[in-house]
Structure 1
Amino acid sequence: MAKKNDARLGQGLSEIFGMNIDSVLEDIQQGKSELSNSSGKIEISVDEIKANPYQPRKDFDDDKIHELAESIRQHGVFTPILVKKAVKGYELVTGERRLRASRLAGLETIPAIIVEFDDQQMMEIALLENIQREDLNAIEEATAYEKLIRKLSYTQEELASRIGKSREHVANMLRLLKLPKKVQQFVIEKELSMGHVRALLALKDEKQMEAVAKKAIHEKLSVRAVEALVKKVNAPAAEVKEAKTEDVNLRPVRLRLQDKFQTQVHIDEKQISIRYRGVSDLNRILEILDCLEEE
């Protein structure tokens, strides 16, 4: 199995997407790999190693780092980190927890394996490894998606294919970045669920989002309660009256469309209206409809 993975990795990282990248990296770290573009295990000064500039994970559990540091003091580092050569010193590929804990434990060197990954591979490895280990919070994941799209010119569909997710999942995650920073922090701290913030995104401005988010947290509102509150905030009196006389046969259709487009939809007089908030939101809806012009 290791040789099969090695051959694919040698052809380029894209060849192993859809497989378990975590196991491929583990093969390298455990010395089971025979990759021509990796070194054997060597000792490298911790002062020569810079953080992975593409690391999507920003939130590290300090208690767990201290526990790992204590283990390293007693037993050392069993699994080498992966690094690549930089203009000066090395850049970390994987193993940030081990590196942080080793520094905390007072180690001067750490076992490492040098690999030759380019910047695109570094970005993708960092994201995929964290996703497969479920180490990222929702905002970190969304930020990593946005960076890959911006840096590597991926479409949402291309990115979804490369990371083994649906395009709808990628689109929904990217929409989290439209939340105010304070509300994003509520998500990071797990005070709001994905269901809560999806409802908040239907609001018209950031002040409304922040106000409803705080109310949801303080009153411990359910997702359904937040959805109802958002609808009440958004709907002027005329729309409320119209909703009361809505054709019962069209209501399920409208609700399905709203769920698909994650915005308000109205169906009346043989027409469908889809609300959008600016050019980027319009492009998001057009991409869902597969109506964006190809470059």
Structure 2
Amino acid sequence: MQKRKALGKGLSALIPDEQGFEESERRFFMCPVALIEPNPYQPRVDFSGPELDRLVDSVKESGIVTPLLVSRYESGYRLIAGERRWRAAQKAGLDRVPVIIREASGREMLELALIENLHRKDLNPIEEALAYRRLLDEGGSTQENIAKRLGRDRSTIANSLRLLTLPGSIQQDVMEGRLTMGHARVIAGIKDDRARKELRDMIVRRGMSVRQAENAAKRLAAAGPGKAAKVQADAYYYSLSENLKRALGTKVEISKKKKGGRIVIHFYSEEELDRLLGILT
């Protein structure tokens, strides 16, 4: 049985880059844009935004430099990789685009589209996770096999798939950039949906870093659901102490009481005390 090659070693073996374009002239041809349909296995959902607008401007100026990868389909062709270029060509008013034909199964079309987006960092974390899930569901594969095929660690695949356990509203936050992949992983580590929502609100409202979110998650787990107000206050003071620590270059503790509180600034030598006094006075 022939061993399948891994796809995670770059796009150069699949799609020629600008330098390799001349070498591929014998393999590509100028295909009418109207004969090409999108890849139904495309993992990317959102193609809008300034990046596509810049690509349209580039296409108007220089045309399509790198050929699209397509397979034969009915009376035309179906995209495997290069959907952004295809969409940009349509917006730019091109009638024909350079394409290279490669026959591929549905699974291979998904893999090739996925690896193109991963290498070009075109997918948001949820789109990436959904693509892995589709490979598992439709390809009958395992996380380990997918990792080998895509040149990734199995833990990367597993951590990505965990994002799909999050409520749809939080997944939307990740897709729209309100939460980072790191934030989402912290929230995914909490099992209670109410606690997840409380932590999400704290992160967005306070603009927490991932480290601050991790600390808040620990406090929330210890306090239990419904204690978000106290946890949020604790997280706020922790955030302040971290900011002071970075500003002063030493350990800082803030403790809150019913009325007032205290700030403790640590020093470990007379020289460090003089340095801190120079900053504070």
TM-score between both structures, scaled by the size of structure 2? 0.70
SS in 1 for 2:98: strand
2:14: which partner in 1? 25
CA–CA separation in structure 2 for the residues paired with 1:214 and 1:196 = 12
Amino acid at match of 2:209: S
The answer to whether the 8 A contact 1:139-1:177 is kept is yes
Distance 2:206 2:49 in 1: 30
Whether the aligned pair in 2 keeps the contact of 1:82 and 1:93 (CA below 8 Å) is yes
- Paired residues in the alignment total 221
Task: Provide the C-alpha distance between the structure 1 equivalents of 2:82 and 2:190, rounded to a whole number of angstroms.
Answer: 40
Query: Is the contact between residue 56 and residue 127 of structure 1 (CA under 8 Å) also seen in structure 2?
Result: yes
Q: 57, 60, 72: which is aligned to 1:85? A: 72
Structure 1 residue 103: deviation in Å? 0.7
The answer for unaligned runs of 5 or more in structure 2 is 225-281
Matched residue type, 1:111: P
Q: Closer, same or farther in 2 for the Cα pair 1:160/1:220, shift >3 Å? A: same
CA contact 2:15–2:68 (8 Å) conserved in 1: no
Corresponding position of 1:252: none
The question of 1:62 aligning with 2:49 is answered: yes
Structure 1 regions of 5+ residues with no counterpart?
1-10, 238-295
Q: Which residue of 2 aligns with 1:75?
A: 62
Aligned CA distance change for structure 1 residues 220 and 158 (closer, same or farther; 3 Å): same
1:230 matched residue in structure 2: 217
C-alpha deviations, 1:83-132, integer Å up to 9, x for none?
11112421111111111111111222222222212222211111112212
Change (3 A) 1:47 1:143: same
Aligned to 1:15: 5
Identify if the C-alpha distance between structure 1 residues 44 and 214 changes in structure 2 by more than 3 Å, giving closer, same or farther.
same
| Post-superposition offset of 1:63 | 1.9
Q: CA deviation at 1:68?
A: 2.3
**Cα distance, 1:218–1:30 mapped onto 2, change above 3 Å:** same
Q: Which residue of 2 aligns with 1:253?
A: none
The residue type paired with residue 150 of structure 2 is: I
Tell me the equivalent position of 1:161: 148
Q: Deviations over 1:16-55 (max 9, x none)?
A: 54532x0112339725359xxxx83222222221111111
- 2:211 match: secondary structure: helix
RMSD between aligned residues: 2.5
User: What SS does the aligned partner of 1:100 have?
Assistant: helix
Is 2:160 the partner of 1:173? yes
Q: How far apart, in 2, do the equivalents of 1:215 and 1:167 lie? A: 31
For the structure 1 residues 219 and 86, does the alpha-carbon distance in structure 2 shift closer, same or farther, using more than 3 Å as the test? same
Output the amino acid matched with 2:85.
Answer: R
Contact 1:204 1:234 in 2 (8 A): no
* Superposition map of 1:45-56 within 5 A: 45-56=32-43
Say which SS state the counterpart of residue 85 (structure 1) adopts.
strand
Superposed displacement of residue 61, structure 1? 4.6
Identity of aligned residues (%): 40
Cα distance 1:65–1:201, how it changes in 2: closer, same or farther (>3 A)? closer
3-state SS in 2 of match to 1:224: helix
Other structure's SS at 1:15 match? coil
1:85 and 1:181 mapped to 2: Cα distance? 36
SS of 2:136 mapped into structure 1: helix
Query: Could you tell me whether the CA contact under 8 Å between 1:65 and 1:101 is conserved in 2?
Result: yes
Q: Which amino acid aligns with 1:32?
A: E
Larger Rg: 1 or 2? 2
* 1:213 alignment partner in structure 2: 200
Change (3 A) 1:48 1:171: same
Q: Which amino acid aligns with 1:213?
A: R
2:189 matches 1:202 = yes
